[in-house]
Structure 1
Amino acid sequence: MAGLGAAVLAPIWPTAGRAQARPALALQAKTDSVALRPNAPATAIWSLQGGELRFKRGETLDIAFGNELPVPAVLNWRGIDGVPAAEPLTGRPPLAAGGKEVLQLPLRHAGTFLCDLNLLGDGQPRPSRARALVVQESETVAVDRDQILLIEDGRVRPDGTAMAPGVPGDAVAVHTINGQTSLDLSARAHERVRLRIISGCQRSVIAIKLEGLEVRVMAIDSQPSEPFQARNGALVLPPGGRVDAFIDLTTPPAGGVLAILLHDGKEARPIGKLTVSSEPPIRPAPLPPAPPLPSNGLPERLDLKNATRVDLALGGPSGDWVTPASFAATAPPAFRVKGDGTVVLALANRAAIATVFHLHGHHFRLLDRLDDGWKPFWLDTLAIEPGQTQRIAFRAEYPGRYLIESVATDWAAPRLVRWYAVE
C-alpha cells in the first residue's frame, strides 16, 4: 500500500545506444485480499499491484496497464494537472477485462499523488484499494525520513465480505492504514519526519491527529502551501485529499508512545502509534523551522475581475450529472473557457449531507466569502457542508477535456461526473 508498482520494462522500452531511458511503470488490476478487521481472516478485494513507486519532478512515466479483473477498469489519477490524454473517460475510455494499454504521464509537479480504480467502483462485486505516487522535488528537502500514511475506509457485511461503495445494506465501517488495521512507527529524538497523509477513503471525511506533536502543514493536494501549524495536531481530509506535514520529535521523552488517532465524524480511535526510540538523539538539537517547499510554478495571483463565472449545483443525479458508467463523451460540457483565462466556480451543495467535489486537470484556490482574496494553499478536492456555497478559482492553463466529480458522504450515494473544456 506504500506506493504504486514499478518495473523496468527493458524488452519494451529501448535503452542501448540512446539517451537515458524514461522511467517505466507496470500496473496490473488484479484480485487481492486484505485484513479489514483485527484478528479476522483476509477479505477478497481488487487492487493495483506492485511495489513502492517514487520518481522525480520533470520525469515522464511510460506506463503499461493491464486489466486482469472481470470488469472494465480505468485509472483515476489525483493531482496530475494538464494531461488530457490520461484523463479517465474524457481522454481514455475504460479498459475491457483482459485488455492492455500504454500511456505517458509527465510529472511536471512534485508532490503526493493518488491513483485508484474507484471511478467505476460503485456497485461492483468487490471494492478496490488506492495506491500512492510520490514525485520528489528537484531540490533537496531537509527531512530525515519520508513516510506515507494511506488511510482507506470500507464496509464489511455480517458474513465477512467487503462491500463496494454505492451499495446500500447492513455493514460495519472499517478503516485501514497502509493496508493494515494498525501501524507502528518509530523515530529518534530530534528527528524530522515528512508524513504524506493520504485519504484513500471512498466517502468519509476523516481527521487524523498525532497526539502530543506539533504538526506543520507543508503541502495540500500535491501543491506546496505557506507552512502553518495544524490546530491541535489534527488534519481534516476529504476523500482523495492529501496533506504533507513535517513533525519534529523535540519534546517527547525517550521511549514515549504517541497515538495516531482517526476520527470518522462519529468517534476517535487509535489507528497507529509513533514510538520515540531510546537511542541517542539523531542530532544534538532540533532542526530550525522548515522553509516552504519549492514552488511547482502555479500562479501567484488570479485575475478574478475578468474571470469566467459558472454556477454548479451539487447534491444529486440531476441535469447533466451522471454516473461514470453512463458518461458519454458527446454530452455537453459544464462550461468552456479560453486557455489561460481565470474560472470562478460557485459550488452549491443542495444535498442534506456534506458533498465532496473534485476537479481534474487543474488546482484551485478556495476564495474568501467576498471574493476579495483566497486561502494560502491550492486544492483539487473540497468537501462542502449541506446548504452551503463555496467559491473556487483556477487558471485554465492546460487545453483539453477534463472530468469533474461529485459524491455525497454516504456509502450508498452514487459517484457523479461532468466534464469541462479548456480551449
Structure 2
Amino acid sequence: MSRRTLLTGAALAAAGPLWPKSAQAQTSGAAQTSAAADGMPTVLLEAKPGVVEFQAGQPTDIFGFGGKAPGPELRLRKGEAFRAKLVNSTTRPLTLHWHGMRIVNDMDGVAGLTQDPVAPGSSAEIRFTPPDAGTFIYRPLAPGFTAELTERGLAGVVVVEDPAAPAVDLDRVIAVDDWRLSDQHQLEPFGAAEDRASVGRLGNLLTVNGARAPERISVAPGARVRLRLANLCNARLMRIRFEGVKAFVIATDGQPTDSFEPLRSTLPFAPGTRYDVMFDAGDAGSGGSVTAVIGQGLPLVEVKVEGEPMSARRPPPPPMAPLGDNPLLPPAIPLQKAQRADVVIEGGAKPGPDGKAAAYAGDPNRIWTINGQGGLAAGDKSPGKPVLVVKRGATVVLALVNRTPYPQVMHVHGHSFRLLHPLDDGWEPYWLDTVIVPEGQTARIAFVADNKGKWLIGSTVLERLDTGLSAWIDVS
C-alpha cells in the first residue's frame, strides 16, 4: 500500500464561497428532527423493518433507519453540537458507530467496549461535536450481530461541512452497497461459516444510494462536481475507475489530502473507505462514469452533460486546488519516541485447490484472532486486555501483520493515521482510518494518540469482526 499503490488502485480487487450559495446543490431526504426544550434539534434515527424495491414490483424486506436503506444523509457542521435519538425497533441489540469520526469515546458505539448495546424496544441519546469536516459512515457495531444488521440495510453517510470549503455546483454522496438476494428477491440467510471464515458475505446486486446501479447524474457544461464516494459494503473489496472525466482526489477517509489525479484513473475501494473527488464537466453532449472493476466492469455513476453552460450563470471557478491541511492533525509524527505494538492477524479457512475457501470445521463464532486472542463476540461483558496502553499525546506505531491467506481491511477508531514506508523512514502523504493489508504482508501505521478512551482496531469485513477479528488500545 505505497503511494503508488493508492494512486494506481492496484491494491487488491483491494476562503469563502466562490459564487452564491443558491448555485450549490441542496441535499434531499433529510432525517426527521424534533425540537427539545433547550432549543437544540434532535435527529430521530429509528432502526426498523422496511421494504425496498430494487426492481419494480419485486419487494425486499430489510432493516433501515426510518425503514429505508441507506439511512438518511446526515449533514452536520464542523464544530457544532449534534444530537440524535437512536430507537431500536429491530429484533437485535444495536449500537451506532460513527466510522472515521474522531469524536468522544463514549459515543463511538462499540458494544462491549465503549457502551452497552441498545436492546430491542429501547432507545438511547447520542451527542457529540464533530471536530473534522469530511465524509464519514454510520452503522451498527454490536459484535456478533454487526454483519447481519448492516447487511439488512442499517448504514448511512455523514457529511460534516466546512464553511470554508470551495463552492461547487453539485455535491453528491455516492453510497455503494451490495446485497445477496434469492430468486424471490429476499435477503439470503445470514451466518454461513464459509462466509465468516473466508472473504465475507459478497452480494449479487450492487446499489448506489439505495437503488440498482448506476446512479445517473445530469450536469451543465462547465459545472464543478464533488462526489463523496463511500463503500458501505460489508465485505466487497473492489477497484473503481473514472472514465470520461478528469477526477482529482481531494480527501481520503474524510481527511483532506494533496489533490491528485489517480494514475490509470483507478483507486482501491474497500469496505469503510471514502474518497472525495472533484471534476469539471466538459462540453454539452459529453459525459463520463465511475465504474466498479468487477468482471467486465459495472458502472456505479453515469454523468451526462447537457443544458445551458454554467458560465452563463456564475463566474468561472478558480483552478482545482487542495482543500488545505486539517490543523487538528499533526504536521509531523515523532517516530523516534513511538510506542510500538504488533497486531498479528491469524485464522480463517484455507483456500482449496480451486481457489475457493475450504469447509471450516472450527467454532463458527471464534474464527479469527489478533495476537492469539479472539476479539469481542456476542454477549461479551469484558473486552479482554488491550494490545497497547499509552498516555494521551503519545506516538503509536502499529505493525498490522497479516498471516492469513486473505486481504485484511483494518479500521482504527477515533484516530487518523499515516501509512509508513517499509523502513519507517517516512510516511505516505495522506491520512487514513481504514487500510488494506494484503495477504501474507505487514503494514505499519503511525498516529498521535490524542483522543482519550478505549479504541477498537477491527476488520471492516463484518463477518470477520463478528467472529474475533478485533483488538483495542487504551489511551489514558
Structure with bigger RCO (C-alpha 8 Å, 6+ apart): 2
The counterpart of 1:403, out of the listed 442, 456, 463, is 456
Amino acid at match of 1:102: E
* Paired position in structure 1 for 2:242: 210
State which drifts further: 385-394 or 322-331: 322-331
Normalised by the length of structure 1, the TM-score is 0.89
Q: Note the 1:354-369 alignment, pairs <5 A.
A: 354-369=407-422
What is the deviation of 1:43? 1.2
* Paired position in structure 2 for 1:56: 77
Contact 1:261 1:269 in 2 (8 A): yes
What is the deviation of 1:281? 3.8
The counterpart of 1:254, out of the listed 274, 281, 284, is 284
Amino acid at match of 2:472: W
Give the whole-Å Cα distance in 1 for the aligned partners of 2:381 and 2:410. Answer: 20
Give the whole-Å Cα distance in 1 for the aligned partners of 2:329 and 2:29. Answer: 26
Give the whole-Å Cα distance in 1 for the aligned partners of 2:256 and 2:190. Answer: 31
Give the whole-Å Cα distance in 2 for the aligned partners of 1:379 and 1:128. Answer: 25
Give the whole-Å Cα distance in 2 for the aligned partners of 1:412 and 1:339. Answer: 26
Give the whole-Å Cα distance in 2 for the aligned partners of 1:164 and 1:4. Answer: 30
User: Could you list the per-position Cα deviations for residues 325-357 of structure 1 after superposition, in whole angstroms to 9, with x for gaps in the alignment?
Assistant: 254435111211111000000001111111110
Contact 2:234 2:461 in 1 (8 A): no
Q: Note the 1:199-278 alignment, pairs <5 A.
A: 199-249=231-281, 252-264=282-294, 266-278=295-307
* Paired position in structure 2 for 1:198: 230
Amino acid at match of 1:86: M
* Greater helix content: 2
Contact 1:125 1:163 in 2 (8 A): no
The total of aligned residue pairs comes to 411
* Paired position in structure 2 for 1:102: 125
State which drifts further: 165-174 or 272-281: 165-174
Contact 1:126 1:163 in 2 (8 A): no
SS of residue paired to 1:42:
strand
Contact 2:222 2:283 in 1 (8 A): no
Q: Note the 1:263-412 alignment, pairs <5 A.
A: 263-264=293-294, 266-282=295-311, 287-293=318-324, 295-316=326-347, 317-318=368-369, 319-406=372-459
SS of residue paired to 1:282:
helix
What is the deviation of 1:296? 4.7
What is the deviation of 1:94? 1.0
Residues 336, 40 of structure 1: CA spacing in aligned structure 2 closer, same or farther, 3 A cutoff? Answer: farther
* Paired position in structure 1 for 2:38: 14
Give the whole-Å Cα distance in 2 for the aligned partners of 1:174 and 1:219. Answer: 28
Amino acid at match of 2:98: W
SS of residue paired to 2:445:
strand
Residues 4, 117 of structure 1: CA spacing in aligned structure 2 closer, same or farther, 3 A cutoff? Answer: farther
Normalised by the length of structure 2, the TM-score is 0.80
User: Could you list the per-position Cα deviations for residues 109-131 of structure 1 after superposition, in whole angstroms to 9, with x for gaps in the alignment?
Assistant: 11101001265333569622411
1:70 aligns with 2:91: yes
Give the whole-Å Cα distance in 1 for the aligned partners of 2:327 and 2:149. Answer: 37
Residues 233, 35 of structure 1: CA spacing in aligned structure 2 closer, same or farther, 3 A cutoff? Answer: farther
* Paired position in structure 2 for 1:18: none
User: Could you list the per-position Cα deviations for residues 365-395 of structure 1 after superposition, in whole angstroms to 9, with x for gaps in the alignment?
Assistant: 0001111111111111011110010000010
Contact 1:151 1:178 in 2 (8 A): yes
What is the deviation of 1:40? 6.4
Q: Percent identity?
A: 31
What is the deviation of 1:236? 1.8
Give the whole-Å Cα distance in 1 for the aligned partners of 2:151 and 2:342. Answer: 35
Give the whole-Å Cα distance in 2 for the aligned partners of 1:108 and 1:79. Answer: 11
Amino acid at match of 1:136: E
Residues 306, 412 of structure 1: CA spacing in aligned structure 2 closer, same or farther, 3 A cutoff? Answer: closer
Give the whole-Å Cα distance in 2 for the aligned partners of 1:267 and 1:116. Answer: 31
Residues 371, 148 of structure 1: CA spacing in aligned structure 2 closer, same or farther, 3 A cutoff? Answer: same
Give the whole-Å Cα distance in 1 for the aligned partners of 2:249 and 2:202. Answer: 35
Give ranges in structure 1 of 5+ residues lacking alignment.
16-20
SS of residue paired to 1:189:
coil
The counterpart of 1:33, out of the listed 39, 44, 51, is 51
State which drifts further: 393-402 or 206-215: 206-215
Contact 2:103 2:130 in 1 (8 A): no
What is the deviation of 1:155? 1.2
1:47 aligns with 2:77: no
State which drifts further: 131-140 or 386-395: 131-140
State which drifts further: 301-310 or 76-85: 76-85
* Paired position in structure 2 for 1:83: 104
User: Could you list the per-position Cα deviations for residues 156-210 of structure 1 after superposition, in whole angstroms to 9, with x for gaps in the alignment?
Assistant: 2344221366435898622100101131101111111111100001111122223
Residues 412, 308 of structure 1: CA spacing in aligned structure 2 closer, same or farther, 3 A cutoff? Answer: closer
RMSD: 2.6
User: Could you list the per-position Cα deviations for residues 275-302 of structure 1 after superposition, in whole angstroms to 9, with x for gaps in the alignment?
Assistant: 0013234357564122334525200100
Residues 125, 273 of structure 1: CA spacing in aligned structure 2 closer, same or farther, 3 A cutoff? Answer: closer
State which drifts further: 308-317 or 45-54: 45-54
* Paired position in structure 2 for 1:181: 212
User: Could you list the per-position Cα deviations for residues 395-418 of structure 1 after superposition, in whole angstroms to 9, with x for gaps in the alignment?
Assistant: 000111111212559899946322
Q: Note the 1:153-172 alignment, pairs <5 A.
A: 153-163=178-188, 166-167=191-192, 168=194
Give the whole-Å Cα distance in 2 for the aligned partners of 1:65 and 1:212. Answer: 42
Give the whole-Å Cα distance in 1 for the aligned partners of 2:258 and 2:226. Answer: 16
Give the whole-Å Cα distance in 1 for the aligned partners of 2:29 and 2:138. Answer: 8
